[in-house]
């Protein structure tokens, strides 16, 4: 490898690491994994991928990389595709536990290119666990994001690094990243598959994306997860409209392959909810955050041993912060389940009360929660190498934060209106104006702002009301319309029907002596 000096300085923990030394346990690991992949034993592959790989990493490679691919290749017939998969895991492990060098970032990009090329040209005949396929897409986007952050910190770059960045300007190029994800979506024909499934012509969701007729699930499922990948990349770029559009083929009101892997489920909803928050569709964001937070609350104990556990908890906390923001801008706590609500009050109750005041302190809290919970925004363009080198890694984040706070400020007078509307059924404009200490024309603008901000308009120009308290004006009198918490009997009955069916089935299963 080039620049050995520099890399040693970066990774002192690697001293004494011999990339060519293959412990017996690793040899056995690759041999078995290779065999199971060839024999399409999805369950065994999943076991080895999820648990053996973690155990070995924990025991032998806590702070060094795994053995190099060249050192293990001859145990697996130098199988090209297996070696690509091995390197994919190798880099993922490196990114998680060590700091990748620029050279390693570039090599990992090359490896993804080769791997995706192979998949796109349809020469793989494997059946891989959804978890692994999700991790590939997830890691691909993560490494792209990580690269953009790294590249944007120009100030402390060495001359060699700058030379490498210039030489390999295609590595993690934003067009390349988007086009790979898009190509996986198109080549897999996943959108058509999901359409046909609705008409009952094919099965995809019903088999969790697996192919039990001897085919491969790899391209199809990678294509499927790439739609989530595109949502995420577009959110990182601040393009929320396009992000949500990329996810349209997946019906998130239902279970689907995206819910079969907890990481994918959370990533999907986190970004979908965030995009809706930025599009001012608060009710939609609240609904989806509520559902996933309830789901995590109920199931998190099952993931305690999973390598994703920490990530799950972190996203969980971030989504509570986003929910706190949504509910402060759109106080519709009736949309939130009791369990989620009590968690939310515990975590953010006090802050939410202060956010209602819309003073400087309140905006400081909006700022704090947004900064804590937002995606790691990126600037996708290459740096200018000529000028005095400057860091621009915070630019994208600062812009999104600024625009979000601008929106919050536009809404600052609404909570005052809300308070008065809640205690009157009718009130004259003059009276409300004097209570709010503004003149009548100003009050009219505040009331119109309230209407505009609480009524979302989607791309079909369909208007959806997000208002908890609504009103209308007749000449110079305001009439308040309190929306009563509507009991959803339909849902209640549906749930009870399913429950009863379960009980009956269970009873049928009991054999009486």
Residue ranges in contact with another protein by CB under 8 A: 174-175, 178-179, 182, 237-242, 245, 248, 251, 253-254, 278-280, 380-381, 395, 398-400, 402-403, 407, 410, 441, 444-449, 451-453, 455, 457-461, 463, 465, 470, 472-476, 481, 486-491, 494, 497-498, 501
Nearer to another protein, 24 or 491 (CB): 491
Closer of 42 and 244 to another protein (Cβ)? 244
Name the nearest CA neighbour of 263 among 211, 299, 233.
Answer: 299
Which helix H or strand E contains 378, and what residues bound it?
Answer: none
Structure tokens, 177: 């990243």
Cβ count within 10 A of residue 242: 14
CB-nearer residue toward another protein: 506 or 513: 506
* Least CB distance to another protein at residue 223 (A): 16
Least CB distance to another protein at residue 439 (A): 12
Quick one: 123 or 399, whose CB is closer to another protein? Answer: 399
CA distances from 15 to 3, 4, 102, 103, 343 (A): 15, 12, 18, 18, 46
Q: Which residues contact 353 (CB under 8 A, 6 or more apart)?
A: none
Compute the least distance from the CB of residue 329 to another protein, in Å: 14
Q: How far is the CB of 459 from another protein (least distance, A)?
A: 5
- CA 198 to each of CA 12, 94, 192, 248: distance values in angstroms, whole numbers, following the listed order: 55, 41, 10, 14
Cα–Cα distance for residue pair 323/277, rounded to 1 Å: 9
Q: Which is nearer to another protein, 54 or 449 (CB)?
A: 449
- Measure the CA–CA gap between 321 and 323, rounded to whole angstroms: 5
For residue 46, the minimal CB distance to another protein (Å) is 28
* Closer residue to another protein, CB minimum distance, 77 or 476: 476
Residues, the chain = 513
Cβ 36 to another protein shortest distance, Å: 34
Longest Cα–Cα distance of the chain, Å, equals: 87
CB of 475 to another protein, least distance (A): 5
- Are 299 and 271 in contact by the 8 Å Cβ rule? The answer is no
Pick the closer one to another protein by CB: 423 or 486.
486
When the beta carbons of 30 and 478 are compared against another protein, the nearer one is: 478
What SS3 string covers 214-254? Answer: CCCCHHHHHHHHHHHHHHHHHHHCCCHHHHHHHHCCCCCCC
Cβ-count burial of 371 within 10 angstroms (0-12 exposed, 13-18 middle, 19+ buried)?
middle
SS3 185: helix
**Closest CB 196 distance from another protein, rounded Å:** 16
Q: Which has the closest alpha carbon to 369: 323, 413, 407?
A: 323
Taking the C-alpha atoms of residue 229 and residue 62, their distance in angstroms, rounded to an integer, is: 29
Q: Whole-number minimum distance, CB 43 to another protein, in Å?
A: 27
Residue nearer to another protein on the CB measure, 1 or 461: 461
Closest to another protein by CB, 155 vs 402, is: 402
Distance CA 464, CA 324 (A): 21
| Cα–Cα distance measured from residue 112 to residue 133, given in angstroms and rounded to the nearest whole number | 13
Q: Strand, coil or helix: what is 11?
A: coil
**Distances, alpha carbon 427 to alpha carbons 392, 431, 478, in Å:** 52, 7, 5
- Residue 212: C-alpha distances to residues 99, 123, 135, 205 (Å): 40, 18, 22, 13
Closest CA to 96 of 73, 74, 66, 75: 66
Q: Shortest distance, CB of residue 489 to another protein, whole angstroms?
A: 7
Instruction: Report, in Å, the least distance between residue 339 CB and another protein.
Output: 22
CB of 384 to another protein, least distance (A): 9
- Which of 57/242 has CB closer to another protein? 242
Q: What are phi and psi of 45, to 5 degrees?
A: -60, -45
Q: How far is the C-alpha of 328 from the C-alpha of 326, rounded, in Å?
A: 5
Q: How far apart are CA 499 and CA 131, in angstroms?
A: 30
Q: Strand ranges (DSSP E) for 108-190?
A: none
Min. distance of Cβ 503 from another protein in angstroms?
12
- 74 versus 484: smaller Cβ distance to another protein: 484
345/444 with CB nearer another protein: 444
């Amino acid at each position: 490898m080039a620049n050995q000096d520099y890399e040693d300085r970066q990774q002192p923990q690697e001293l004494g690491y011999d990339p060519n030394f293959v412990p017996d346990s690793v040899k056995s690991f690759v041999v078995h994994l290779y065999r199971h992949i060839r024999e399409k034993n999805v369950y065994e592959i999943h076991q080895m991928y999820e648990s053996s790989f973690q155990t070995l990493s924990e025991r032998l490679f806590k702070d060094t990389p795994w053995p190099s691919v060249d050192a293990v290749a001859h145990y697996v017939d130098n199988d090209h595709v297996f070696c690509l998969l091995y390197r994919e895991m190798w880099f993922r492990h490196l990114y998680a536990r060590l700091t990748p060098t620029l050279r390693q970032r570039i090599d990992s990009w090359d490896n993804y290119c080769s791997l995706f090329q192979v998949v796109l040209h349809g020469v793989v005949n494997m059946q891989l666990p959804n978890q692994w396929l999700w991790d590939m897409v997830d890691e691909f986007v993560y490494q792209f994001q990580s690269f953009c952050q790294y590249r944007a910190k120009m100030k402390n770059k060495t001359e060699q690094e700058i030379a490498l960045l210039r030489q390999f300007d295609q590595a993690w190029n934003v067009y390349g990243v988007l086009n790979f994800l898009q190509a996986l979506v198109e080549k897999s024909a996943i959108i058509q598959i999901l359409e046909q499934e609705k008409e009952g012509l094919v099965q995809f969701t019903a088999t969790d994306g697996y192919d039990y007729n001897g085919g491969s699930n790899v391209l199809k499922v990678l294509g499927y997860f790439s739609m989530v990948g595109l949502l995420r990349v577009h959110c990182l770029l601040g393009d929320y409209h396009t992000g949500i559009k990329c996810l349209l083929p997946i019906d998130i009101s239902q279970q689907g392959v995206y819910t079969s892997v907890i990481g994918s489920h959370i990533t999907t909803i986190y970004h979908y909810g965030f995009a809706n928050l930025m599009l001012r569709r608060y009710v939609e964001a609240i609904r989806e955050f509520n559902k996933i937070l309830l789901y995590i609350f109920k199931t998190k104990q099952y993931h305690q041993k999973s390598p994703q556990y920490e990530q799950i908890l972190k996203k969980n906390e971030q989504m509570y912060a986003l929910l706190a923001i949504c509910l402060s801008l759109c106080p519709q706590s009736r949309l939130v389940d009791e369990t989620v609500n009590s968690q939310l009050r515990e975590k953010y109750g006090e802050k939410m009360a202060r956010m209602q005041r819309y003073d400087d302190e309140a905006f400081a809290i909006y700022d704090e929660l947004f900064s804590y919970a937002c995606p790691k925004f990126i600037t996708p363009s290459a740096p200018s190498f000529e000028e005095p080198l400057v860091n621009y890694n915070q630019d994208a984040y600062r812009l999104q934060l600024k625009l979000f706070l601008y929106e919050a400020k536009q809404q600052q007078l609404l909570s005052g209106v809300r308070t008065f509307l809640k205690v009157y059924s009718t009130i004259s404009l003059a009276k409300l104006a004097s209570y709010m200490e503004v003149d009548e024309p100003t009050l009219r603008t505040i009331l119109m702002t309230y209407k505009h901000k609480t009524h979302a308009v989607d791309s079909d120009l369909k208007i959806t009301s997000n208002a908890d308290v609504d009103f209308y004006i007749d000449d110079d009198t305001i009439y308040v319309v309190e929306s009563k918490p509507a009991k959803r009997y339909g849902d209640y009955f549906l749930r009870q029907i399913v429950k009863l069916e379960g009980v009956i089935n269970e009873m049928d299963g009991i054999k009486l002596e």
